[in-house]
């Protein structure tokens, strides 16, 4: 499956979350990837359409407060990240970012 650099960066950022409940809002993904909000949003939606990420709304934070909506990596998305060599995941801006677990 061919992914764009922004999609790879977002997928790698999603993989850095908790395996049981690793949902991230756009702000968290912007911070982790260094991408603009528009590019994060487009990448998340594309990954969700392909089944590599899942969207959920009505999320709650660890303190029990509403946290809005976010995206998490799916098992299929995690498999894609594990198949990519570390050099293949490049955060736009030039930083190489090895996927978690490698």
Q: Does residue 40 or residue 17 have the better pLDDT?
A: 40
- In Å, how far are 20, 60, 66, 88 from 11, measured between CA atoms? 16, 22, 24, 12
Domain range summary for the chain, segments of one domain joined by +: 5-84
Looking at residue 16, what is its pLDDT?
Answer: 81
**Quick check: 72 pLDDT over 50?**
yes
CATH classification (class only), 5-84? mainly alpha
Q: E strands along the chain, which residues?
A: 53-60, 66-73, 90-91, 95-96
pTM of the model: 0.76
């Amino acid at each position: 499956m061919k992914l764009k650099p922004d999609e790879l960066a977002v997928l790698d950022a999603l993989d850095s979350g908790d395996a049981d409940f690793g949902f991230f809002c756009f702000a968290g993904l912007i911070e982790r990837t260094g991408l603009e909000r528009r590019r994060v949003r487009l990448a998340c939606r594309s990954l969700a359409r392909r089944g590599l990420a899942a969207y959920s709304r009505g999320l709650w934070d660890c303190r029990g407060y509403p946290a809005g909506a976010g995206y998490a990596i799916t098992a299929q998305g995690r498999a894609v990240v594990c198949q990519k060599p570390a050099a293949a995941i490049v955060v736009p801006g030039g930083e190489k970012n090895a996927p978690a677990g490698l």
